[in-house]
Each structure stands twice: as structure tokens, then as C-alpha cells.
Copies of this chain bind each other. A is one copy, B any other.
């Protein structure tokens, strides 16, 4: 079997991912800056299907209108030449010092206004490039001390901003959906709406909730020690899995943005299996970057590795679904003696009454073991290629 990426895999990377130059809190840039056109060529070379971007990944924040148009034109030519598409765009609301206290939730109303303006313009750019998904990562929407912002006010500002921008998209008649991305901390001490779950709840409070979903990121949920696949499953059930950020991360530490599957291939396996089993049709977007030790040859190895590992795990998921021993265990696990069929289901007075009368033998139920160690070991064997 080939593990070469193909367009139908919908593999995308951000300009900022393969274009990451290696600045970290303790060190300077280690790789030269590549232009957006060079990055598109690099992505085409490694086999990506699409490229995503923040506004300022493409257009410098201080560019004139003329410069902007030239840059966009050059970029679109590169897209044409390579066949890459731009399915997703987003706004950089975290790098400029103006956003040091947040963007939509900043205490200074001028900053909040600037954030809206910058986002509207970036939405225009994204739509111009063909994006149909627009991501919001509110990296600065938070605090280091709760004395500095009332969370109720901050959440009200956040809501107002999202409603405003939904209004803008509808007013412009753009074919664009929003995907909100949560993160518990870093670069702020505590970021609002810290988990995918919180975002899903928040979306339910918006004026145009039908156009807003989530963009869960592996690393961000792992930072909080959460099972990423479970968060994705909830989003999927609610019809809100509009986008996904694939990378890797060890729990309980700084944001690592590691190559997909490289920190923990077993967790990655269950995620890939989920996405493929449910038939997720969106982008498989890699929001990761190469180690700071890498040169650009190694950046390519990084990008190829993200996609290759996904495809290996995809094949393993298919084999897991087809494995007779695994399926036999699953059947055993799901055994149902039928005795409760009449009392389970939607509520009715009769069903409740009948259920209340059943005389369960708790000892029998408590004595029933399940072969989950056996099943998990088969999974490990399958993962390691020894079955």
C-alpha cells in the first residue's frame, strides 16, 4: 500500500507551519524567511492539497493597498501553478502589540474595534482566495489575573464580536462558515473558552449559531490532559466539526505543535479511526511545525511525515475494522440477552413503571468482566505491525 498523499485526503498546512522560522521564548529565528510563494511550492512538492493562512502570513500588517494586491496576485499565480487550494483562512490577532491585552475582549474599546476591522478585512481576503472556512483562535483573549477583567464582561464582548462578524459575512453573502478554536493557556495565563466543550456551549448562545462550529486542535486539548477523540466526537455529534487541527503534544506542558502522531501514535490512531469511520469530509489540517533543529530539508521531512503517519493510521483503522479477532471481541462485548429491550428507549410512563419493577441481580452484573485488555493488546499489536 502506498502512503503517498492524494488530493482526496484533503491534507492542508498553514503558511505559518512550514514557514515557521523557529523563534521561541528563549531563542531567535533559526531558519530564513521563505516567501508565501516559496511556501506554496514547498507544499506542492511534498504533496499537500491545500494551504491555509492568517492574513499577515501573506500580507504584512503594514503593507499598502498596492503591495497587498501584488502579493495576492503573485500568491494566486502560485496556487494556479501548483494546483493548491486555500480552504481556510484566519486572522492574526495575537502578534501585534496592539493586541497585548486581547482582541475582541481587550479592555481598550479601540483595540476591540481594531480587531473587528482587521477581521473583516481578513475575511475579505480569505474569501477572495477561495476559503470557505474561517477560523478564530483567540490566543490573547484571556488574563494573567482575574482582577484585570470581569469574565462576564469579557464573554459578553466575545459574543458581541462573533455576532457582529457573523452579521458581516451574511451581509456580504459570503459562502463562509466560522470554526472556533479553544486553548486553555499560553500565551495568556488563562484563555477564555478554554476547551472545545466550552466553545460548543458558547456557539449555542450566538445569534447565528448555524454558521459557527469548532476547530479542535490536538495539542490544545492534550495540554489540558483531555482525550482529544472524545472532544471531537462531541463536536461531530452536534454537527459542529467544521475543521480540525492535527499535530501532537504531551499532556501538561507548553504548546509543542509536534509532527502528527509523533508524541503518541496510539492516541493518533483512535483519532484517525474516528474521522475515517464517520466520514469526516473536511480538511485534515496540520497545525504543527518542525523542530527548531530542522533545516528546510527536514521541514519537508516533517510535512511528509505528518501526512504519511495519517495514511498509515488510516490503513490500520481499516484493518482494525476488518480484523476477525478484534471484531469477535467487540461482538462479545456488545452481547445483549434482550431482557431489557422493552424498558430501554425513550421515556414513557409505562416503560418507567416496568423498569422500576425489574429485579436485577447486581452480583451477576458485577461479576461480568469485559475483555478490554485483550482487545487493547490486539490494537497495540495491530498498531505495531505485528498482526
- Is A324 in contact with chain B by the CB < 8 A criterion? no
Known: A23-B25, A380-B262. A365 touches B98 (CB 8 A): yes
Question: What B residues does A121 contact at CB under 8 A?
Answer: 356
Q: Is the beta-carbon distance between B152 and A346 smaller than 8 angstroms?
A: no
- Is A167 in contact with chain B by the CB < 8 A criterion? yes
Copies of this chain, tallied across the complex: 4
Q: Which residue of B lies closest to A292 (CB)?
A: B100
Residues 101-129 of A, flagged 1 when their CB comes within 8 A of B and 0 if not, give 10000011111111011001100000000
Q: Is the beta-carbon distance between A372 and B294 smaller than 8 angstroms?
A: yes
> CB within 8 Å of B: which of A45-93?
61
Question: What B residues does A294 contact at CB under 8 A?
Answer: 369-373
CA distance A137 to B44 in the complex (A): 41
- Is A9 in contact with chain B by the CB < 8 A criterion? no
Known: A197-B201, A347-B167. A27 touches B94 (CB 8 A): yes
Q: Is the beta-carbon distance between A198 and B374 smaller than 8 angstroms?
A: no
Residues 176-219 of A, flagged 1 when their CB comes within 8 A of B and 0 if not, give 00000000111101101111111111111100000000000000
- Is A256 in contact with chain B by the CB < 8 A criterion? yes
Q: Is the beta-carbon distance between B355 and A297 smaller than 8 angstroms?
A: no
Question: What B residues does A189 contact at CB under 8 A?
Answer: 227, 250, 256, 258
B110, B139, B145: the one within 8 Å of A262 (CB):
B145
Residues 248-274 of A, flagged 1 when their CB comes within 8 A of B and 0 if not, give 001111111011011111110010001
> CB within 8 Å of B: which of A295-331?
295-299, 301-302, 304-305, 308-309, 312-313, 316, 326
Residues 227-239 of A, flagged 1 when their CB comes within 8 A of B and 0 if not, give 1011101101110
Question: What B residues does A145 contact at CB under 8 A?
Answer: 262, 291, 372, 375-376, 379
CA distance A226 to B305 in the complex (A): 25
B167, B193, B375: the one within 8 Å of A234 (CB):
B193
CB distance from A14 to the nearest CB of B (A): 13
CA distance A336 to B109 in the complex (A): 6
B152, B252, B346, B377: the one within 8 Å of A304 (CB):
B377
- Is A168 in contact with chain B by the CB < 8 A criterion? yes
- Is A163 in contact with chain B by the CB < 8 A criterion? yes
CA distance A107 to B267 in the complex (A): 22
Q: Is the beta-carbon distance between B152 and A98 smaller than 8 angstroms?
A: no
CA distance A234 to B192 in the complex (A): 9
Question: What B residues does A107 contact at CB under 8 A?
Answer: 333-334, 370
CA distance A200 to B264 in the complex (A): 29
CA distance A166 to B264 in the complex (A): 40
Q: Is the beta-carbon distance between B340 and A113 smaller than 8 angstroms?
A: yes
Known: A100-B22, A113-B358, A301-B377. A347 touches B171 (CB 8 A): yes
Give me 6 A-to-B residue pairs in the complex whose CB atoms sit less than 8 angstroms apart, sorted by A's number. Answer: A117-B355, A164-B347, A194-B226, A259-B376, A293-B369, A301-B377
Smallest CB-CB A-B distances: 4 pairs:
A385-B385, A295-B369, A167-B347, A197-B198
8 additional A-B pairs beyond A97-B362, A110-B360, A155-B237, beta carbons within 8 Å, are: A27-B96, A27-B187, A148-B333, A187-B292, A195-B226, A198-B198, A225-B253, A294-B370
